[in-house]
């Protein structure tokens, strides 16, 4: 599973690298390098993985009582916010130091809280995107708004398969209505099919039902790899359309969701794959800063000239991927633990101030 997550993060990196470094220099890359899983599809696959993992931990680790639910929220808070706040602080301070900051202070509130970013970015200036809400280099954080919203909902909706199914069908209906009424070349099509949470909630819930289905009928590793292969083949067949566009391409996340339990069971105890998974979040958050600093800075640009003039696309890509991974590894080992420890202590101190709740015996979710 960690390998899949890292591949998806690299797919986002590749797309951003192509947009920021290659295209301005008249260079392109072949989407087959990332199995035609562009950045948009990678994000929606990430949502599916989140749905699966949250469903799994709620089933296996957390009970239904108040203390267990608070423990779940604590774990999610410490997974998302420490590194994000560290990156946000660094970015704001760096922009202030350069004297290049254009961020409006009031915009920092949704950036800090994350909730609502996935609505503000696509809808505040609809059909244009409003990226002024986030500092340059951190725009991927809008997806964390969707993740945080799902985490807040998860203990309620994932413990009732009936409610989860109703919401999945409702989200699919919203998505279907958009496909039926909005033209593919409409400026707002991507806003509504890729950013709009009611139309993307279904991908989280597909991950949940992938976990539910395999609790009743397990799929072995061979079958899971086969389903993963079908999902990738469907992505390739879909061509260059943004996100999952068309009814056939929506079979890809369904196959992907069904593939996850078997792959997770085979790799969850692997230190190597867990290491790859641990690098995913730092890579996802920091690559937007690494690319401009290393490849777009005027002071460093001169060393890129020979590669650009010779159209050495593969070399540039490898340089970008290796650089971003080195920064992600350093971030994971040097920054993330300190930030998480600090916020963990702050959470525990606040928890001590809250009134104690009764502690009923843990109830296993059936």
166-197 pLDDT per residue, tens: 999 999 999 999 988 988 888 888 889 889 99
In this prediction, residue 52 carries a pLDDT of: 96
Could you tell me if residue 153 is left (phi over 0), alpha (psi between -120 and 50 degrees) or otherwise beta?
alpha
Indicate the burial class of 175 (C-beta count within 10 angstroms; 0-12, 13-18, 19 or more).
buried
Is 123 domain-assigned? yes
Is 358 domain-assigned? no
Is 62 domain-assigned? yes
In this prediction, residue 120 carries a pLDDT of: 92
Is 285 domain-assigned? yes
Residues of the chain with pLDDT under 70: 98-106, 237-243, 246, 296-311, 354-366
Q: Are 42 and 8 in contact (CB under 8 A)?
A: yes
Q: Which two tokens stand for residue 122?
A: 């696509």
Is 139 domain-assigned? yes
Is 363 domain-assigned? no
| Alpha-carbon gap, residue 139 to 26, rounded angstroms | 24
- The residue behind tokens 């502690």 is 359
Residue 56 to residues 53, 134, 204, 209, Cα–Cα distance (Å)? 5, 32, 13, 10
In this prediction, residue 156 carries a pLDDT of: 93
Q: Which residues contact 8 (CB under 8 A, 6 or more apart)?
A: 37, 42, 43, 45, 46, 49, 280
Is 359 domain-assigned? no
In this prediction, residue 366 carries a pLDDT of: 32
Q: How many domains does the chain have?
A: 1
| Alpha-carbon gap, residue 266 to 260, rounded angstroms | 10
Question: Which range marks the domain in which residue 145 is found?
Answer: 2-352
pLDDT tens per residue across span 334-361: 999 999 999 998 888 887 776 655 554 4
Q: Are 141 and 134 in contact (CB under 8 A)?
A: yes
In this prediction, residue 47 carries a pLDDT of: 96
| Alpha-carbon gap, residue 46 to 8, rounded angstroms | 7
Strand, helix or coil at 180? helix
Q: Are 202 and 175 in contact (CB under 8 A)?
A: yes
Is 361 domain-assigned? no
């Amino acid at each position: 599973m960690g390998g899949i997550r890292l591949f998806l993060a690299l797919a986002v990196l590749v797309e951003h690298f192509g947009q920021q470094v290659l295209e301005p220099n008249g260079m392109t890359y072949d989407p087959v390098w990332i199995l035609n899983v562009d950045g948009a599809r990678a994000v929606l696959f990430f949502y599916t993985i989140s749905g699966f993992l949250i469903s799994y931990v709620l089933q296996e680790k957390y009970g239904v009582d108040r203390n267990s639910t608070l423990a779940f929220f604590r774990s999610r808070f410490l997974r998302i916010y420490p590194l994000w706040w560290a990156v946000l602080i660094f970015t704001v301070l760096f922009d202030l130091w350069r004297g290049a900051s254009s961020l409006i202070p009031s915009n920092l509130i949704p950036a800090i809280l994350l909730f609502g970013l996935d609505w503000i970015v696509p809808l505040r200036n609809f059909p244009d995107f409003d990226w002024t809400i986030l500092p340059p280099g951190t725009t991927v954080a809008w997806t964390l708004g969707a993740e945080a919203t799902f985490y807040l909902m998860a203990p309620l909706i994932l413990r009732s398969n009936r409610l989860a199914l109703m919401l999945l069908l409702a989200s699919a209906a919203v998505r279907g209505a958009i496909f039926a009424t909005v033209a593919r070349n409409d400026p707002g099509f991507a806003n509504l099919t890729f950013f709009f949470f009611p139309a993307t909630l279904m991908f989280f819930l597909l991950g949940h039902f992938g976990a539910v289905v395999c609790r009743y009928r397990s799929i072995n590793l061979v079958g899971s790899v086969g389903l993963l292969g079908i999902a990738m083949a469907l992505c390739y067949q879909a061509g260059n359309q943004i996100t999952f566009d068309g009814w056939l391409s929506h079979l890809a996340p369904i196959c992907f969701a069904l593939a996850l339990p078997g792959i997770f069971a085979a790799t969850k105890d692997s230190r190597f794959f867990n290491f790859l998974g641990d690098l995913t979040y730092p890579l996802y958050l920091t690559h937007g800063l690494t690319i401009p600093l290393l490849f777009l800075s005027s002071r460093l640009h001169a060393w890129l000239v020979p590669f650009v003039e010779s159209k050495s696309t593969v070399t540039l890509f490898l340089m970008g991927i290796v650089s971003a991974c080195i920064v992600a590894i350093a971030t994971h080992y040097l920054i993330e633990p300190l930030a998480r420890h600090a916020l963990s202590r702050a959470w525990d101190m606040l928890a001590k101030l809250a009134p104690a709740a009764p502690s009923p015996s843990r109830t296993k979710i059936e």
